[in-house]
Amino acid sequence: LAKTTQPISMDSYEGQEVNITCSHNNIATNDYITWYQQFPSQGPRFIIQGYKTKVTNEVASLFIPADRKSSTLSLPRVSLSDTAVYYCLVARGNAGNMLTFGGGTRLMVKP
Amino acid sequence: DAGVIQSPRHEVTEMGQEVTLRCKPISGHNSLFWYRQTMMRGLELLIYFNNNVPIDDSGMPEDRFSAKMPNASFSTLKIQPSEPRDSAVYFCASSFLGTQTYEQYFGPGTRLTVT
């Protein structure tokens, strides 16, 4: 499985942009990068996925360089409600839609 | 759609008892996943079904755990006999396999406490 490495925790303040970087050095050609968010006492929630370059939706942007060995989740103008754990995952293209969750990044947004 | 439905939301049982967790996936989804989450081990995939067939059960801890999916709208995870170390939050998730999307929809979870 493609192992991912991301910071254990990050702090930010309301209104700031937050960038969480994840490394996945052994990503394979058929793999996609996906990010999930988990609030306390809830199940994870899909945020965004991408293959290369940049993907943007109403919640976040995902930047993937040409070598695809890392990716950066960008959250614009965070609020207190963005305090959560953010998981970076590599979805294997030949493993159905099975996912393996790592430890995630615990983001704390302060007022 | 009501989303993924899990029951019960909370379960407290004594060691040695049988526990059955239930999941109703989103209608139209053809993949179903059972996960377990603890502080120590994080979020672990236990088993994965596609079209009601178990595809990967390598995450099932031991023979005390079993999972079934008799039809597309229902799955169970059974622990018999239960042990205190099984205490965790158990999540069920569903998705549609067929497009290149890896969006899984998680249920609210069942918090299991084994005393």
3-state secondary structure of B68: strand
Interface check A4 vs B, CB under 8 A: no
Interface check B40 vs A, CB under 8 A: no
Instruction: Give the integer Cα–Cα distance in Å for A53 and B59.
Output: 33
Per-residue pLDDT tens over the stretch B5-53: 999 999 999 999 999 999 999 999 999 999 999 999 999 999 999 999 9
Do B106 and A44 contact (CB within 8 A), yes or no? yes
**Contact list, B30 vs chain A (CB under 8 Å):** none
CA distance readout (Å), A31 to A9, A86, A89, A97, B91: 26, 19, 10, 11, 24
Predicted local confidence at residue A98, as pLDDT? 78
| Residue B113 pLDDT greater than 70, yes or no | yes
Predicted local confidence at residue A95, as pLDDT? 65
Kindly determine whether residue A42 and residue B33, on different chains, have CB atoms separated by under 8 Å.
Answer: no
Please name the residue that has the structure tokens 């970076």. A88
Predicted local confidence at residue A68, as pLDDT? 95
Predicted local confidence at residue A93, as pLDDT? 67
Beta carbon pairs, A and B, within 8 Å: 60
| Residue A29: CB atoms within 10 Å | 7
Kindly determine whether residue B102 and residue A93, on different chains, have CB atoms separated by under 8 Å.
Answer: no
Give the confidence band of B98 by pLDDT, cuts at 50, 70, 90. Answer: confident
The nearest alpha carbon in chain A to B107 belongs to: A43
Do A35 and A87 contact (CB within 8 A), yes or no? yes
Do B19 and B78 contact (CB within 8 A), yes or no? yes
Per residue of chain A (111 residues), what is the pLDDT tens digit? 568 999 999 999 999 999 999 999 989 888 899 999 999 999 999 999 999 989 999 999 999 999 999 999 999 999 999 999 999 998 876 666 778 888 899 999 999
Q: Which of A98, A100, A105 to mutate to test the interface with B (most CBs of B within 10 A)?
A: A98
Tell me how far apart the 2 most distant CA atoms of chain A are, in Å: 43
Interface check B38 vs A, CB under 8 A: no
Kindly determine whether residue A104 and residue B42, on different chains, have CB atoms separated by under 8 Å.
Answer: yes
Per-residue pLDDT tens over the stretch B58-79: 999 889 999 999 999 999 999 9
Instruction: Give the integer Cα–Cα distance in Å for A33 and A61.
Output: 12
Instruction: Give the integer Cα–Cα distance in Å for A45 and A86.
Output: 9
Kindly determine whether residue B91 and residue A43, on different chains, have CB atoms separated by under 8 Å.
Answer: yes
Predicted local confidence at residue A100, as pLDDT? 83
| Residue B102 pLDDT greater than 70, yes or no | yes
Kindly determine whether residue B42 and residue A98, on different chains, have CB atoms separated by under 8 Å.
Answer: no
Kindly determine whether residue A98 and residue B95, on different chains, have CB atoms separated by under 8 Å.
Answer: no
Q: Which of A43, A93, A103 sits opposite B93 (nearest CB)?
A: A43
Higher pLDDT, A94 or B82: B82
Q: Which of B35, B95, B109 sits opposite A97 (nearest CB)?
A: B95
